[in-house]
Amino acid sequence: MASLAPGGRIAVVAAALLDDLTAPTQLLSAQRTEPPLLAGGWEIPGGKVDPGEEPLDALHREIHEELGVRIEVGDGIPGPLDGWWPLGERYAMLVWLARVSDGIPQPLEGHSQLRWLPEHALWSVDWLPANRPILAAIAATLWTP
């Protein structure tokens, strides 16, 4: 079971994890291990909201399950679908900026590797197509002069 986003889509949450919320220089990318169609692609980490769960609670839970860290959440990055980002036809995702407040991210679940990307290397990984407009919006928010 999952929670619903606009248009009856399945609700997903994700964090753009930064080295610092005030003066960020790097963003964490994560390479998916499944499902086969998405495996090998890079994403910002997160996952599905459980039924009855608040999206922000889901964000803290998913990041702890997947990366083993606690986070401090900053601003949201609104998408075009009532603030949500469409992921294909079936999913929609809420995205927040965040910072690791406790621990060092490890690929514990769902990812084969993690990579901190400096601004100049933001496009050096093969982002999942649905994540690309999100990354462009994040980069514009963080790094447009």
- Residue ranges in contact with ligand C5P by CB under 6 A: 12, 14, 38, 43-44, 46-48, 87, 91, 110, 128, 130-131
| DSSP string over 18-34 | ES-SSS--EEEEEEE--
CB of 73 to ligand C5P, least distance (A): 16
When the beta carbons of 94 and 142 are compared against ligand C5P, the nearer one is 94
In sequence order, what are the beta bridge partners of 29? 115
When the beta carbons of 52 and 145 are compared against ligand C5P, the nearer one is 52
Compute the distance between CA of residue 78 and CA of residue 10 in angstroms, rounded to an integer: 17
CB of 14 to ligand C5P, least distance (A): 4
Phi, psi of 3 (to 5 degrees): -100, 155
CB of 145 to ligand C5P, least distance (A): 27
Compute the distance between CA of residue 68 and CA of residue 100 in angstroms, rounded to an integer: 10
CB of 55 to ligand C5P, least distance (A): 13
> Is the Cβ–Cβ distance between 10 and 48 less than 8 Å?
yes
Compute the distance between CA of residue 125 and CA of residue 31 in angstroms, rounded to an integer: 9
When the beta carbons of 130 and 138 are compared against ligand C5P, the nearer one is 130
When the beta carbons of 11 and 23 are compared against ligand C5P, the nearer one is 11
